[in-house]
Amino acid sequence: MTGLSVADVLDLLGAFLVLVGCFLCFAAALGLLRFPDVVSRMHAATKPQTLGLIVLAAGVEVSLRSWASFGTLVLVAAFQLATAPVSAHLVGRTVYRTDQVRHELLVRDDLARDLEAAGFRLGPAPEDEQGPDAAEGDDRRLS
């Protein structure tokens, strides 16, 4: 064997890109397991959903090298980029409204300032009123 052909280099590049995507999935799962509250877990979860998926799609396209798969993979990335913010927005909104944010971990809370400016005010301490789901949490407390 005397050196690599273009196809070989592209195959290796595609496999490497898929490996990077798999590593992003792994990092997200690790963050999901280790991070302390829902908002920081969402931060970890978005890595494979956008960057990871784009890297994976690029890797598959570099390996397959056909226009049909290129069209499908562009659609995969585009749909994911269009739908991931929708779910992230709704989950984040629900997290804030049902008070599952650990406020002592926040550096700044712009939404609280804006809510206060709009006439909303802090309700009674919501810690006591949460459902059984939130009460049983073992890692909601500082450890």
Is 127:104 a contact under the CB 8 Å cutoff? Answer: no
As a whole number of angstroms, the distance between CA 37 and CA 34 comes to: 9
Number of residues that bind other proteins (CB under 8 A): 76
Residue 54 CB neighbour total at 10 angstroms: 18
Site string for other proteins, 41-80 (x = CB under 8 A): xx--x--xx--xx--xx-xx--xx-x-xx--xx-xxx-xx
Tell whether residue 142 is a contact of other proteins (CB under 8 A): no
C-beta of 53: minimal distance to other proteins in Å? 6
Of the residues 107, 117, 122, 142, which one makes contact with other proteins according to CB under 8 A: 122
Tell whether residue 106 is a contact of other proteins (CB under 8 A): no
Residue 7 CB neighbour total at 10 angstroms: 10
